[in-house]
Structure 1
């Protein structure tokens, strides 16, 4: 395995639940030494979420805490705070998501740590703008999905607002945090000066509205919801074959003609002037989509996928989640790895999605609560 890009970078992670731990997991996947600070009794909240794995882990915790070391410190104990400060003294990055003033109360705020480590990159993740009127509000993914308008663009027309299947705001906030930290790491190499990075779930939720958000600002109203269809590309969505669903994504006019003429034998649809361009197809979707749906129901899914692929039409099966994770495609990509717990249980979890120099990055399973406390604190005493 070649050296990873962040080998030699030390991260002290005071965060918990999802956004913060995901950001540090990304850094750990890239080779950083991530030391996860947890309460000795409670640990990370997510150790109690999901399906139990071992004595102190769950599926939820496993999803965001690989490639880390766990150190149990009770920050209500002044001696443990001093141990935390000692860990930060030679660290490169600190990540925290305490409520406003929480880290400062322990003497672990940015200004406090800058005095002992002028090169520290200090990333704070909050629910809302730390300089705004709602700074003291706790941030929860579901609440922000509602407040940022994301639920309003998800789901079917005429149905109630719908949350995303995963905690999308938390996850994107974690990824944005990792990006900002990486940028700060580059800059500190040039300047030698520490930086503070602030993110809020709400700001990231607004960012996630993307082109829907811009449509709303131009229209000065909410854009319609299309469920599995696309707001501006037609046909593009989930369709039913005679024996199951599939995805068809027609991205241009040439592909639409191939879909109708070559894959379905319906040249008349391709020649219909109402469907000549994507803009026209979008305007006439209420006529086109039912006609296309009736045609697709005449065919078996395997036959459709074969014909669509031969015609150069982007398409795919709609798989169940377990079916997708155990698919030969997933196995060939080495995206799921397995390790054996101390209790002798084989546990599968996902690997980082990138390869470096052609190789999938090594994966260490998430740590048990306080697993590395003795090891890490002993190294401080030697220093």
Structure 2
């Protein structure tokens, strides 16, 4: 029985696609979150102790339901399986026969020992798409080494970009490469599903964190090193302390005037029309060669008025500009509320009373298939009995295989 037959209420372009998600923390859950919000039936297969992010992702209101876990695991179902046990492997085998996609961030040795390699699963289900998110691609000297976001940020050049601007290496203040690679993995899975529609068979995908993050950095900053050894590296418009929100009389503003039309409009907006014919600023090429002077003009001008005044003036001149948000003021942005991305969700506490929390919903829209109704992240093992029933297990077997109570790891 297909996932679409089991859950006919699901909508979205991936409705009817079943995804087995054995990942944890951020990079894998980011990938499967995207698939879930596109309509896939994502079954989160958690070890007996549960996903680490249930406990690592901030102080929870309910045990085992940390804020970060809630936001990365919306629209998924949870079953607890000990994949090292015969019972866990039995259930996993049946799930693999019904699945379209298997996603893991286990290392090759673990996949081999658990019988979860592409070869093993495709023998049960030739149509399965098998995606492994790894730290490093096979074939290189780092293959099989453990990796976390901070390791990849430091190794791939992300931290070095901060050093170019700030004078010392720093990690981005979010798990940047986990997010990046999770998005890449979701795209690769969708491409493989499309390929399967043409060939009739699945395939194995390897999505390495280091190589993807390094390519991300180098596409932006190879610059003249593209052409010659020893050539300059780093986009000068970005690799400067002046590439930042600009201080106004009462706060900050974000301004971007890159095209010739925008630059000329900006000079009119700040009351400096003579700069339109200044040799330093007359073209994209000239402004790039004199980027520090150009940024200095912007910095000096913005200090003369309030943020609201500049936003109104620059919009009138069709120059891209928006206020700067702090983390707290971002929550009051009317666009996030108006588009439905930031919402008030209602959940029941341990006493059965309703409580509200801030929820995040899928930002993208699909005109034909729509998106599934947003569901809160699952409690640990919440859907175990339901999933086992879908696989054809009777009540006695479900009690035998169900493992922990849904709240046991919380």
Q: Is the TM value for this pair above 0.5? A: yes
SS where residue 115 of structure 1 aligns? helix
CA-based RMSD of the aligned residues comes to 2.3
Return the offset for 1:183: 1.1
Aligned counterpart for 2:334 among listed residues 328, 333, 349: 328
Aligned counterpart for 1:172 among listed residues 155, 171, 180: 180
Paired position in structure 2 for 1:128: 136
SS where residue 101 of structure 1 aligns? helix
d(CA) in 2 for partners of 1:150, 1:13: 28
SS where residue 135 of structure 1 aligns? coil
d(CA) in 1 for partners of 2:10, 2:69: 28
Q: Does the CA contact (< 8 Å) of 1:10 and 1:33 recur in 2?
A: yes
Cα 1:315/1:376, change in 2 over 3 Å: same
Cα 1:288/1:173, change in 2 over 3 Å: closer
> Would you say 1:376 and 2:387 are equivalent positions?
yes
Paired position in structure 1 for 2:245: 238
SS where residue 348 of structure 1 aligns? strand
> Would you say 1:27 and 2:38 are equivalent positions?
no
d(CA) in 1 for partners of 2:10, 2:16: 14
Return the offset for 1:222: 6.2
Q: Does the CA contact (< 8 Å) of 2:287 and 2:294 recur in 1?
A: yes
Cα 1:299/1:326, change in 2 over 3 Å: closer
SS where residue 392 of structure 2 aligns? helix
Q: Does the CA contact (< 8 Å) of 1:6 and 1:27 recur in 2?
A: yes
Q: Does the CA contact (< 8 Å) of 1:151 and 1:162 recur in 2?
A: yes
d(CA) in 2 for partners of 1:115, 1:53: 43
> Would you say 1:346 and 2:356 are equivalent positions?
yes
> Would you say 1:54 and 2:62 are equivalent positions?
yes
> Would you say 1:363 and 2:370 are equivalent positions?
no
1:95-244 aligned at under 5 Å gives the runs: 95-154=103-162, 157=165, 159-209=167-217, 210-218=219-227, 220=230, 223-224=233-234, 230=238, 237-244=244-251
Cα 1:168/1:215, change in 2 over 3 Å: farther
Q: Does the CA contact (< 8 Å) of 1:180 and 1:197 recur in 2?
A: yes
SS where residue 52 of structure 1 aligns? coil
d(CA) in 1 for partners of 2:98, 2:371: 29
d(CA) in 1 for partners of 2:198, 2:165: 51
d(CA) in 2 for partners of 1:147, 1:311: 43
Return the offset for 1:305: 1.1
CA shift digits 1:68-113 (9 cap, x unpaired): 1000011121111111111111111100111221121011221111
Paired position in structure 1 for 2:307: 301
SS where residue 122 of structure 1 aligns? strand
Provide the aligned length of Structure 1 versus Structure 2: 377
d(CA) in 1 for partners of 2:347, 2:322: 36
1:246-261 aligned at under 5 Å gives the runs: 246-261=253-268
CA shift digits 1:260-294 (9 cap, x unpaired): 12x11112323322221222223223334334322
Aligned counterpart for 1:274 among listed residues 264, 269, 280: 280
CA shift digits 1:201-253 (9 cap, x unpaired): 10111121122135444463663586xx5359xx9752111111101101212
Q: Does the CA contact (< 8 Å) of 2:19 and 2:99 recur in 1?
A: yes
SS where residue 367 of structure 1 aligns? coil
Return the offset for 1:142: 1.0
TM-score if structure 2 supplies the norm length? 0.86
SS where residue 154 of structure 1 aligns? helix
d(CA) in 1 for partners of 2:373, 2:53: 23
d(CA) in 2 for partners of 1:10, 1:332: 31
d(CA) in 1 for partners of 2:262, 2:71: 38
d(CA) in 1 for partners of 2:319, 2:123: 59
Q: Does the CA contact (< 8 Å) of 1:141 and 1:167 recur in 2?
A: yes
